[in-house]
A = this chain, B = another copy of it.
Amino acid sequence: MKKLINNVENVVLDQVQGLVASRQTLKLNQHPCYIWHEESPRQVALVSGGASGHEPMHTGYVGEGMLTGAVPGEIFIRATPDQIYECASKVSRDEGVLFLVKNYVGDGMNFKLAVELLHADGVKVGAVLIDDDIAVNDSLYTSGRRGMTGTVLVEKIVGAAAAKGYSLEQCEELGRRVNNNCRSISVALSPCTVPAADQPSFELGNNEIEFGIGIHGEPGIERIEFTSANDVVDKMFVALKENIPYSRTLPVWDKEEGGWDDLESSVDDFESEHDYIAIVNGLGGTPKSELYVVYKRLAENCERENFRLARNLVGEYCTALNMEGISITLLKADKEMIDLFDAPVNTAAMTW
């Protein structure tokens, strides 16, 4: 295995140190590991994190107009409760802290624990669970749906809202609304290799692709024969469009009393004659040029269905190490979301 790392024990810290060295505004705490940036004390602090290996998610999104702090776990391993708790304690202000959490069992557990610890400290805190990946609802590896590239849009849009002075409750409601209007699906053309494992995380035949792959290499919906980019994109689009609106119970923290309530929450329908924000995302090993082949076909599909592509991102936003493949995300966006998407942002991975 050749990887541009030094040793597997130290790989995440090495990477994060490099990121912080490259941007003057970022600050690093090494033990436990988290990064943050100084911002107005008069806004909600946003913290995200979880397994490393999905860069630029989440560390690349810390900065003005997006995340206040991020906690990188080891490669494909959740962040620890003390990482999350200490990062949030560092950045919390009067307006409170909001966690943006991809829906994996381990992440959910550790962020929930951090919420409880912060509440005990008297910190106003909330959490939004993100479950945009429509591939599987439950499996050996996941409870409910997985969080994926849609997380980038939640972080961008809620980040802009926080910078504009939205309250914690408003940020939380907005985050849930973005998540409920957001769907992602991915395919793998080749597996990824975790440094510590030293071998590919699964195998694919010469002409096989995994439809609905998870970003840690979790199984998707089916293995299919690869024919052409257009066929793959068409199949992904149908999956996104026809996804049956999905209801599930999400945990919500009671900020006054403490304790978790159940929120019955539905994924919204996709509709024609509506604005959408699209992400065509490379999973790590896919040439950028191919992402534009995908975007072209996605745009054709959207045009046929009268989905108006109001904004788009084409690039690497949520990866799975060196996996060859892509994800497509569609967010049914209202004017508020589009305005917040357009708001200025200044991070390592997203700047405008």
Q: Which residue of B lies closest to A6 (CB)?
A: B228
Q: From residue A64, how far is it (CB to closest CB) to chain B in Å? A: 12
Tell whether, in the assembled complex, residue B284 and residue A284 are in contact, meaning their CB atoms are under 8 Å apart.
no
* Stretch touching chain B among A10-18, A85-93, A171-179: A10-18
Tell whether, in the assembled complex, residue B55 and residue A287 are in contact, meaning their CB atoms are under 8 Å apart.
yes
Name the interface size band of chain A.
35 or more
Tell whether, in the assembled complex, residue A189 and residue B2 are in contact, meaning their CB atoms are under 8 Å apart.
yes
Q: Which residue of B lies closest to A292 (CB)?
A: B18
Q: From residue A267, how far is it (CB to closest CB) to chain B in Å? A: 26
Contact pick for A4, options B11, B207, B290, CB 8 Å: B290
Residues of chain B lying within 8 A (CB to CB) of residue A207: 2
Q: From residue A153, how far is it (CB to closest CB) to chain B in Å? A: 16
Q: Which residue of B lies closest to A206 (CB)?
A: B2
Contacts A15-B292, A288-B319, A322-B286; is A4 near B299 (CB within 8 Å)? no
Contacts A15-B289, A53-B289; is A22 near B284 (CB within 8 Å)? no
A144 sits at the interface (CB 8 A):
no
Tell whether, in the assembled complex, residue B15 and residue A293 are in contact, meaning their CB atoms are under 8 Å apart.
yes
Residues of chain B lying within 8 A (CB to CB) of residue A284: 285, 287-288
Tell whether, in the assembled complex, residue B2 and residue A314 are in contact, meaning their CB atoms are under 8 Å apart.
no
Which of A56, A322, A348 lies at the interface centre, i.e. has the most chain B CB atoms within 10 A of its CB? Answer: A322
Tell whether, in the assembled complex, residue A18 and residue B295 are in contact, meaning their CB atoms are under 8 Å apart.
yes
Residues of chain B lying within 8 A (CB to CB) of residue A22: 292, 295, 299, 312, 314
- Copies of this polypeptide in the complex: 2
A17 and B324 CA atoms in complex are apart in Å by 22
Tell whether, in the assembled complex, residue A5 and residue B293 are in contact, meaning their CB atoms are under 8 Å apart.
yes
Q: Mark A319-352, 1 if CB is under 8 A from B, else 0.
A: 1011010100000000000000000000011011
Q: Mark A106-135, 1 if CB is under 8 A from B, else 0.
A: 000000000000000000000000000000
Residues of chain B lying within 8 A (CB to CB) of residue A293: 4-6, 11, 14-15, 18
Tell whether, in the assembled complex, residue B229 and residue A5 are in contact, meaning their CB atoms are under 8 Å apart.
yes
Residues of chain B lying within 8 A (CB to CB) of residue A295: 18-19, 21-22
Contact pick for A189, options B4, B229, B230, B294, CB 8 Å: B4
Tell whether, in the assembled complex, residue A52 and residue B289 are in contact, meaning their CB atoms are under 8 Å apart.
yes
A29 sits at the interface (CB 8 A):
no
Contact pick for A296, options B21, B55, B288, B351, CB 8 Å: B21
Residues of chain B lying within 8 A (CB to CB) of residue A292: 14-19, 22, 55
A316 sits at the interface (CB 8 A):
yes
Contact pick for A6, options B2, B229, B351, CB 8 Å: B229
Contacts A293-B14, A314-B22, A351-B352; is A209 near B2 (CB within 8 Å)? yes
Contact pick for A285, options B52, B56, B322, B348, CB 8 Å: B322
Tell whether, in the assembled complex, residue A232 and residue B4 are in contact, meaning their CB atoms are under 8 Å apart.
yes
